[in-house]
């Protein structure tokens, strides 16, 4: 698909603010924000913004899509422009979300401290709310950061791969050394503040043999919610897939055991799959990239998500730049992505369709095949393995523990980037 198209220039949007106080107390910072030139999409508003607050990272994860990290941060003015842009691009939307990414976002805490209060203030003055979160490796979370997050009710998504042996192999410190000691120190503090924080693990051939052990390790750290997302940019051999099959079977048994205990856990891929099976409707791809979500990098460039950046396809997926223009024609391509109607050939016959529903990452598809709708074969193999275990788990609960099944069906799905 040829995504290259000229940028469509749009005029500035005037948004009037109201005088008011900062929601946390004190006067709002004065800033000529209404004079900031920003162009917004012509159709469908934006409700969420992912922001690269820094490119810097203290880890060197072997599967990271940002191979060449630089020690650079977004500047305060650009970050505030991005929040102003979101307020305008959200139209009549009232509940907005900003998630900080990196690198490791808390290496840019000096910027975060200045822009979070500003965003809260401006949103309140416009009759809106702006919630903030951060996807963090947990190794740089200090007491000062936790107090700040508590004050402004920030959310955590915790990237951690599992037991120390796996964590240290997959996610070593930049320059060498283990990262697990810092994770083990910070996790209990984060969970004391936010008990529902999600442990997001990247499943690789290295970690597949100890998948269940990693789940138990997360519980030992205090997590009660987790998800294991396969890295399709790794080399998966047939024997690796068989290991995953065996581990998923054990994970299903472990999941049921925990559901029936006094301290149940949430394994998101199982939870969402069971909900889809029960409803007998295809799980729809919840990815909002380029739709209700836009990503801004440290230079103020706008992208569909954090994985679509200058490094992919020579920057063809640039949607615009703060204070300049917005590519509505390119965004239309993302708005028209409709997995239930546009599956690749063969998907309609796949037994995993009900629990997959196009859940592949579009950016990974484009990176590997230059096609939104052609996921890597590895992804499909892994989804079928997972589907079979979800099917078994759902059937067992329905027949023997309907109350536990109802508890899953009553839970709210949570979107993970």
The two beta strands, 48-52 and 198-203, are unpaired
Report d(CA 99, CA 206) in Å as an integer.
Answer: 29
User: Model confidence at 126, in pLDDT bands (50, 70, 90)?
Assistant: very high
> In the predicted model, what is the mean pLDDT of residues 117-125?
96
In a domain, 157, yes or no: yes
| 204-223: average pLDDT | 97
pLDDT at 285: 52
pLDDT (0 to 100) of residue 288: 87
Domain that holds residue 94: 46-409
**Choice between 62 and 314, residue whose per-residue pLDDT is larger:** 62
Number of domains in the chain: 1
Q: Would you list the DSSP string of 280-325?
A: TSPPP----BTTTEEEE-TTSEEESSTTSSTTSGGGTT--EETTS-
In a domain, 50, yes or no: yes
Q: How far apart are CA 317 and CA 331, in angstroms?
A: 9
Band (pLDDT 50/70/90 cuts) for residue 368 is confident
- pLDDT digit string, tens, across residues 271-280: 999 998 887 6
Show Cβ contacts of residue 235 under 8 Å, excluding neighbours closer than 6 positions.
205
Q: List Cβ neighbours of 144 (8 Å cut-off, separation of 6 or more).
A: none
Q: Is residue 239 part of a domain?
A: yes
Does the global pTM surpass 0.85? yes
Asked if residue 7 is part of any domain, the answer here is no
Whether 200 is covered by a domain: the verdict is yes
* CATH code for the domain of 364: 3.20.20.70
The confidence score (pLDDT) of residue 366 equals 80
Instruction: Identify whether 415 is part of a domain.
Output: no
Is residue 146 assigned to a domain? yes
Residue of higher predicted confidence among 196 and 411: 196
Average pLDDT over residues 297-317: 86
Of 23, 189, 30, nearest to 106 by C-alpha is: 189
Q: Residue 249's pLDDT is what?
A: 97
* pLDDT of 245: 97
In tens, the pLDDT along 139-165 reads 999 999 999 999 999 999 999 999 999
User: Does residue 279 lie in a domain region?
Assistant: yes
Q: What's the pLDDT at 21?
A: 46
């Amino acid at each position: 698909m040829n995504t290259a198209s000229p940028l469509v220039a749009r005029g500035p949007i005037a948004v009037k603010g109201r005088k008011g106080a900062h929601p946390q107390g004190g006067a709002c910072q004065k800033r000529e924000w209404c004079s900031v030139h920003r162009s917004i999409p012509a159709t469908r508003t934006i409700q969420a913004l992912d922001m690269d607050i820094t490119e810097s990272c203290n880890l060197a994860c072997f599967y990271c899509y940002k191979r060449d990290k630089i020690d650079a941060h977004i500047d305060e003015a650009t970050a505030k422009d991005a929040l102003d842009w979101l307020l305008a691009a959200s139209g009549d939307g009232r509940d907005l979300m900003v998630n900080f990414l990196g690198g490791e976002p808390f290496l840019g805490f000096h910027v975060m401290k200045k822009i979070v209060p500003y965003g809260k203030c401006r949103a309140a003055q416009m009759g809106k709310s702006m919630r903030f979160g951060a996807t963090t490796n947990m190794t740089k979370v200090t007491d000062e950061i936790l107090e700040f997050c508590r004050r402004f009710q920030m959310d955590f998504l915790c990237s951690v791969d599992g037991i120390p042996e796996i964590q240290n192999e997959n996610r070593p410190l930049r320059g060498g050394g283990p990262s697990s000691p810092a994770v083990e120190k910070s996790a209990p503090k984060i969970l004391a503040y936010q008990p529902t924080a999600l442990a997001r693990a990247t499943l690789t051939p290295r970690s597949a043999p100890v998948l269940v052990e990693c789940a138990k390790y997360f519980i030992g750290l205090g997590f009660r919610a987790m998800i294991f997302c396969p890295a399709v940019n790794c080399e998966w051999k047939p024997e690796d897939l068989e290991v995953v099959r065996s581990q998923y079977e054990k994970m299903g048994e472990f999941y049921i055991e925990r559901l029936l205990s006094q301290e149940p856990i949430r394994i998101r891929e199982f939870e969402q799959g069971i909900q889809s099976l029960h409803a007998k409707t295809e799980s729809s791809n919840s990815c909002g990239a380029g739709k209700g979500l836009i990503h801004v990098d440290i230079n103020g460039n706008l992208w569909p998500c954090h994985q679509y950046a200058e490094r992919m396809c020579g920057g063809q997926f640039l949607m615009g730049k703060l204070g300049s223009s917005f590519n509505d024609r390119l965004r239309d391509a993302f708005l028209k992505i409709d997995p239930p109607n546009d599956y690749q050939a063969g998907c309609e016959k796949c037994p995993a369709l009900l629990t997959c529903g196009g859940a592949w990452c579009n950016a990974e598809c484009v990176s590997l095949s230059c096609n939104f709708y052609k996921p890597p074969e590895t992804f499909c193999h892994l989804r079928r393995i997972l589907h079979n275990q979800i099917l078994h788990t759902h059937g067992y609960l329905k027949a023997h523990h309907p109350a536990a099944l109802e508890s899953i069906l009553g839970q709210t799905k949570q979107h993970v980037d």
